[in-house]
Amino acid sequence: MSTRAAAVAGYFYDANASRLQHYINELLTAESAVSNVLPKALIVPHAGYIYSGSTAAYAFRCLLTDPDQVKRVLLIGPAHRAYVDGMAIPSVDSFSTPLGDITLDVKGLAEIRSLPGVQVSDEAHREEHSLEVQLPFLQTVLNDFTLVPVVVGGANASEVAAVIDALADDPHTLIVISSDLSHFLNYAEAQQVDASTCDKILHKSTSLKGEQACGARAINGLMASTKCRPLDVDLLYACNSGDTAGKPNRVVGYAAFALR
């Protein structure tokens, strides 16, 4: 059995399992769930937990409605640490976090492996945080699930949509898109830019740019998906690092959305 080891434990979130679990539980219980309808897809931020964890919790809290319904998670996020021409899936058998190992979905990976733009690259996943930071949340709110992790580089919306459409028919598959919003603007500028970006997401835009959301290509693919386009999009919460643990002169924007 080959395993992708946690790369950002101790940096983006606590490496100690008991402290990590306690912190996530606190985030999840800070507010009540916003709906009794289980989402088909989520858009969540991926910064360090002290910055964006409270925003991400708004999305993951929705899964507590019926966690047994989710048996597979298609997790898609942008490449930060390696060049990816298209999309990358791993060859390993599992992904590890301080909370344990998550088995990868062999069938799901096989279904998307031959799609345009998809390649196998463990290097693209080895240090990538955009997917990893979502895993402890998923391990907390879900019971028994497998994972299909996809890192997006230069893929276009139709290529990402094809990956989503290949797996989204399964009623037990949840789609999670990992993306922050604007980067390194001052507080007031970020609020303005992020409000516009959130509005575009609510209207299912397929033309977001990287300066609006670092996971723009993944979000565009979600909105172009024939399986997800008919869904309603709800903005659950939005803020920036100036609201949490960052300085107001150079912030990163965060938002959580649910598609039902």
The DSSP line for 68-129 is GG--EEEEEEE-SSS--SSEEE--SSEEEETTEEEEB-HHHHHHHHTSTTEEE-HHHHHT-H
Q: What is the pLDDT of residues 102-140, one digit of tens each?
A: 999 999 999 999 999 999 999 999 999 999 999 999 999
Phi, psi of 48 (to 5 degrees): -55, 150
What band does 37 get if pLDDT is binned at 50, 70 and 90? confident
User: Taking the CA of residue 73 as centre, how many other CA atoms within 13 Å lie in the half-sphere pointing to its CB?
Assistant: 32
User: Taking the CA of residue 191 as centre, how many other CA atoms within 13 Å lie in the half-sphere pointing to its CB?
Assistant: 6
List strand residue ranges (DSSP E) for the chain, in order: 3-4, 41-44, 72-78, 87-89, 94-97, 100-103, 118-120, 146-152, 173-178, 183-185, 233-240, 251-259
Q: What is the pLDDT of residue 172?
A: 98
- Token pair for residue 89? 């899936």
User: What percentage of residues in the chain have a pLDDT greater than 70?
Assistant: 98
Nearby residues of 252 by Cβ (< 8 Å), 6 or more positions away = 47, 51, 52, 180, 181, 182, 183, 184, 190, 240, 241, 246
- Token pair for residue 81? 């640490």
Q: Is the pLDDT of residue 35 over 70?
A: no
Q: Is the pLDDT of residue 4 over 80?
A: yes
Q: What is the pLDDT of residue 34?
A: 57
Widest Cα–Cα separation across the chain: 49
pTM beyond cutoff 0.75: yes
Q: Is the pLDDT of residue 60 over 60?
A: yes
CATH code for the structural domain at 3-7+28-259: 3.40.830.10
Residue 7 near residue 89 (C-beta atoms within 8 A): no
**What is the chain's mean pLDDT, rounded?**
97
Domain regions of the chain by residue span: 3-7+28-259
CA separation for the pair 64, 199 (Å, rounded): 26
- Token pair for residue 168? 């989204």
What band does 36 get if pLDDT is binned at 50, 70 and 90? confident
Segment 190-201 shows an average pLDDT of 98
Rounded to 5 degrees, what angle do the CA atoms 7, 51, 210 make? 80
Segment 25-41 shows an average pLDDT of 83
